[in-house]
Amino acid sequence: MGRKGQDGYDDRRKSHVAKKPTRKYNDQSTPHVRGYKESFQFKTSVGVYMWDFEQCDAKKCTGRKLERLGYLKAIRVNVPFHGLVLSPFGTKAVSIEDLDVIKQYGTSAIDCSWARIDEIPLGKLKNGVHRLLPFLVAANPVNYGKPSKLTCAEAIAATLYIVGLKEDALTILKPFKWGCQFISLNYELLEGYSKCKSGAEVIEFQNAYMERIEQAKEQEKVIDVGMRRIWDVAAPYG
């Protein structure tokens, strides 16, 4: 029996019993992501995260490159996350309405291969505020010029730009030679989206832009047909 102290409890030494270490979470830069013992200093004014399903070529993956260079933090699927998530679960387009959520909790993207997206366990990614990106064109070498085929870096940069964090968007694209081209290629769209006050307005702007593009294409077809007819008439006299 151990000797009892003044408070009536056994005060015998228990130095042989290992104390359970105090669980440490991230510092103030990532208060909303649990499960990490080390702090992480972001290069952007807000937290940037990624779920990596290791489907892409590590040498070409923009998400992996951003992680290696310290621009974002990879998180596990089972880690609670309360920030903005770019995913198919979204029912609204990202907009300035989401700025407060991103400032407080950060933003994240799902890094996967477009060819294997059906293999992603999306049901496990229901944490956070899910949003969709509006129409944008890829500038990366693999899918250049293709609509919506954005890399992880492009998707994150677009999100930051649309909510008004334009400097952060440029920071995310800085490690890539084609980074600035993504902004220039989508400048009219990104600027338009960033001026919208809600996700609904973003979709309205997108649809108006698409309609204008379709009309321009139709006009080009009419002009092309007209020029061919003129050529057909003029050719015999040429």
62 assigned ligand-binding residue: yes
Beta-strand runs (E) in 152-212: none
Assess contact for 67 and 74: CB atoms under 8 A. yes
Q: Is 91 annotated as a binding residue?
A: no
The answer to whether 110 is a known ligand-binding residue is yes
Residue 77 token pair: 């699927």
| Residues 175 and 84 sit within 8 Å (Cβ to Cβ) | no
Buried b vs exposed e over 33-63: b needs ≥16 C-beta within 10 Å?
beebeeebebebebbbbbbbbeebeeeebbb
Please name the residues in contact with 217: beta carbons below 8 A apart, sequence gap of 6 or more.
none
Q: Are 168 and 153 in contact (CB under 8 A)?
A: no
Structure letter (DSSP) for residue 88: T
As a three-state string, the secondary structure of 58-80 is CCCCHHHHHHHCCCCEECCCCCC
Nearest to 202 by CA among 101, 86, 92, 85: 92
**Annotated binding residues for S-adenosyl-L-methionine:** 62, 110, 133
Residues of each annotated binding site:
62, 110, 133
